[in-house]
Amino acid sequence: MTARHSLHGSVSRPALLLYMLFLLFGPSLAPASAQRPLRPSDLKRGSITASAETLVTVTTSSDVADGNVSSLATLASQPGADGAISLREAILATNATPALGALTIAFNLPNSDPGHNAAKSTWTIALGAQALPALARGNVTIDGRTQPGSPSYPQIIMDGYNVNEAAGLSNGITITSDHNSIRGLTLVNFYDDAVLISGPNAAANLVAGCYLGPDANGAAAVQPSYFGVELRNGAHDNLIGGADPAARNLISGNAHSGVMIQDATTHNNTVAGNWIGVNPSGQAALKNAVAGVMVAAGAHDNLIGGASQGNLLSGNETGIYIDGGGATTIAGNTIGLAADGHTPLANDGGGIWLLNGAHDNLIGGTSAAARNIISGNGAAGSQFGQGIYLASVPINALTMNNTIQGNYIGVDSSGNQPAGNYRQGILIGPGTQNTLVGGTAPGTGNVIGYNGLGGVRIDSSGNQVAGNLIGIGADGVTELGNQLNGVRVGGDNNTIGPDNTIAYNQQSGLMLSGGATTVLSNTLSANARSGICVAGPNNTLRGNLVQSNGGGGSVWPDCAIRAGIVITGTNGTLVSENDILDNSAVGVVVYGGMGNRILANSISDNLSAGIQLMSGGNNGVAPPQLGLVTISMVSGTACALCRVEVFTDTSDEGKDFLGATTASSNGLFSQVIAPAVQPGRHVTATHTDSNGNTSPFAPAVSVPNGSPPDPTPTPTGPRPPLSPRQYVPVVTL
């Protein structure tokens, strides 16, 4: 694609155009309603009446202006030598009409018109070298639906192939005023925009039921327009499309983007209910070359979709591209699937990009109607193709404070059938901060499954992933694992949890290669390698359920080790108060690395050992030795002054944490057990040295039958000190 003009091109061109129009038409340009605040609800369709003062009917496809355009009435009575009224004449006459009341430009072109294509039932208005005048009056409706006939497509075609203005001015319909409506038109072959809505007075306009890009029969244009619709220079409160299916625009095949919203003063516009990037069937691509919708240069508070009025944004290079924009809401859209909500129809470069300082944007919401389906994106073999990609590279402004809630990412509209994105579901790249994926409130969790790489990958700091279903369907049952890890964290100081369910992923549920991340209160189950693999320093795993992982094929080493939790080649991990059970391998393995504390967990029923140290992990510290064991007391020998934790289990692991104490300087310890353990159960212990190296479990000892209660043991030798309080999972050394 060759850029025809800068995205952030000179603002002087539209301003110059406005000035020229002002010179031509004088102060009547100023819309009477420009001073009051405008809302989309102000939008209304101009009523079509028979009055010559409010209605002008285009009767020729010719682009000649030979009539008296000083008013609608004069044009009706003096249409010129051709005896017909052209669209250009109609627009000139509306601009000359004082800005009171609604005006309508209707169409009634005869079958004898040279622009008529009887086979397609279309009439083509081939414009000359000069663009049409801007809609500068306000409250004007151009309604192609008024042309007799009832095809399923807009049959009045404006063809801009011959328009040849200065850079940025070869547009189809330009709107610089308020409360105008463009309905039921096809605009093709404009060198710049099919529709340009520009300036602070361009408010509360409607574009609905149009084809902006494709020909009326849905084929690609001979010369694609640059933007289907562009909103810029302070345009606000405009609506492109709408909730009514009849309001849907088809915006496809443009040389840059379907819709461009740009400039820091451009705000509160809505793009809703459109089909963007597809052909009229909604099942095949007709690509907008850069993005379906792009928000750039600081445009803010715009809405893409909305509850029950989402767009179909598929088949583009990128579905939605926010380049530095703020406070955009992206809701209710289908991004990367066909109109049937199931068949993949990729945005080749990815579903949504939030780049270069994009901030405070919301993707999704807490209601089903606000949910985006972001699935099936990415071209095969592409290095792009995430569901959602956030980054700032190079880092010129942090991409920050963005929220992703309640979406389906990698699954179809049912939430349970696979439709993976080609790469990650969500990639939170460099230069990103304070992204929230999911949340703790009802409805905030995303379903993230079946993506070609991982579910979520984080390569920056200060982000949170909470409350999501990652690798499992919306029904909480269907197995939809992501192809690599459920979540991979490469950056530091992120938070995973609470309340993610991360299951059925083809590698680990969670893989941490960065540091100082907190993993709190998640469920990690049935992941092929491990529930959690820790390969970066000083991470904390607390209060998680890690169950039934490690069932994949034989793999080795590093994060390929199968286990409940793998700590590999790294230091300073704290594994505390987790339930680690039923894994098809070791419960917790430390493979190299030092100072990894494993404290106050429940570890049970793992196929292999509860805790295993390998390759010098945790300095290979041997477990403590149990001595006298009764139903109410465990004593033994540990490393001097080490923290000793005592457990009971039906087998040889540590299901129930009974308490912790500190060994004496002689290494002796004694731990009261209250209430007493049932005879026949096993007890075991770990110890953790002053460097934070936790041992494996001591060989289990069966509590003897008939052991007498011994609530006040009196061991010979110095009485080992007891920890200040029993049964409190003290985890600080």
Interacting residues toward Ca ion by CB under 5 A: 66-67, 79-80, 82, 606
Nearest to 618 by CA among 599, 588, 590: 590
CA R_g for the chain: 34
Neighbours of 706 (CB within 10 A): 6
Nearest 10 degrees: Cα torsion 414, 418, 421, 425? 70
Reading the block at residue 381, the tokens are: 């073999």
Q: How far is the CB of 90 from Ca ion (least distance, A)?
A: 10
Q: Given the complex with Ca ion, which of 80 and 385 has the nearer CB atom? A: 80
Residue 208, burial from CB neighbour count under 10 angstroms (0-12, 13-18, 19+): buried
Q: How far is the CB of 294 from Ca ion (least distance, A)?
A: 39
Q: In whole angstroms, give the CA distance from residue 484 to residue 466.
A: 19
Per-residue three-class SS string for 620-645: HCCCCEEEEEECCEEEEECCCCCEEE
Q: In whole angstroms, give the CA distance from residue 686 to residue 618.
A: 13
Q: How far is the CB of 609 from Ca ion (least distance, A)?
A: 6
Do residues 522 and 496 make contact, with C-beta atoms less than 8 angstroms apart?
A: yes
Nearest to 291 by CA among 240, 244, 344, 254: 254
Q: Given the complex with Ca ion, which of 82 and 360 has the nearer CB atom? A: 82
Identity (one letter) of the amino acid at 203? Answer: A
Nearest to 543 by CA among 503, 604, 500, 582: 500
Q: How far is CA 669 from the centre of its chain?
A: 54
Q: In whole angstroms, give the CA distance from residue 629 to residue 6.
A: 80
Nearest to 122 by CA among 153, 91, 146, 143: 153
Nearest 10 degrees: Cα torsion 12, 16, 18, 19? 130
Q: How many CA atoms lie within 13 A of 305 on its CB side?
A: 30
Q: How far is the CB of 88 from Ca ion (least distance, A)?
A: 9
Q: In whole angstroms, give the CA distance from residue 492 to residue 167.
A: 47
Reading the block at residue 473, the tokens are: 């369907």
Q: Given the complex with Ca ion, which of 60 and 405 has the nearer CB atom? A: 60
Q: How far is the CB of 79 from Ca ion (least distance, A)?
A: 4
Q: Given the complex with Ca ion, which of 80 and 365 has the nearer CB atom? A: 80
Q: How far is the CB of 587 from Ca ion (least distance, A)?
A: 7
Q: How far is the CB of 656 from Ca ion (least distance, A)?
A: 15
**CA dist list (Å): 128 to 131, 164, 274:** 7, 8, 29
Q: Given the complex with Ca ion, which of 91 and 330 has the nearer CB atom? A: 91
Q: In whole angstroms, give the CA distance from residue 448 to residue 271.
A: 26
Q: How far is the CB of 85 from Ca ion (least distance, A)?
A: 6
Q: What are phi and psi of 687, to 5 degrees?
A: -130, 155
Q: How many CA atoms lie within 13 A of 663 on its CB side?
A: 25
- Is residue 27 classed as helix, strand or coil in its secondary structure? helix
State which residue has the least CB distance to Ca ion: 80
Q: Given the complex with Ca ion, which of 80 and 471 has the nearer CB atom? A: 80
Q: How far is the CB of 189 from Ca ion (least distance, A)?
A: 23
Q: Given the complex with Ca ion, which of 80 and 509 has the nearer CB atom? A: 80
Q: Given the complex with Ca ion, which of 511 and 585 has the nearer CB atom? A: 585
Q: How far is the CB of 290 from Ca ion (least distance, A)?
A: 39
Q: In whole angstroms, give the CA distance from residue 695 to residue 599.
A: 10
Reading the block at residue 377, the tokens are: 């994106």
Q: In whole angstroms, give the CA distance from residue 526 to residue 546.
A: 9
Q: How far is the CB of 60 from Ca ion (least distance, A)?
A: 7
Q: How far is the CB of 84 from Ca ion (least distance, A)?
A: 5
Q: How far is the CB of 125 from Ca ion (least distance, A)?
A: 13
Residue 698, burial from CB neighbour count under 10 angstroms (0-12, 13-18, 19+): buried
Cis peptide leading into 344, omega within 30 of 0? no
Q: Given the complex with Ca ion, which of 316 and 583 has the nearer CB atom? A: 583
Q: How far is the CB of 608 from Ca ion (least distance, A)?
A: 6
Q: How far is the CB of 82 from Ca ion (least distance, A)?
A: 4
Reading the block at residue 315, the tokens are: 């088949």
Q: Given the complex with Ca ion, which of 339 and 614 has the nearer CB atom? A: 614
Q: Given the complex with Ca ion, which of 366 and 608 has the nearer CB atom? A: 608
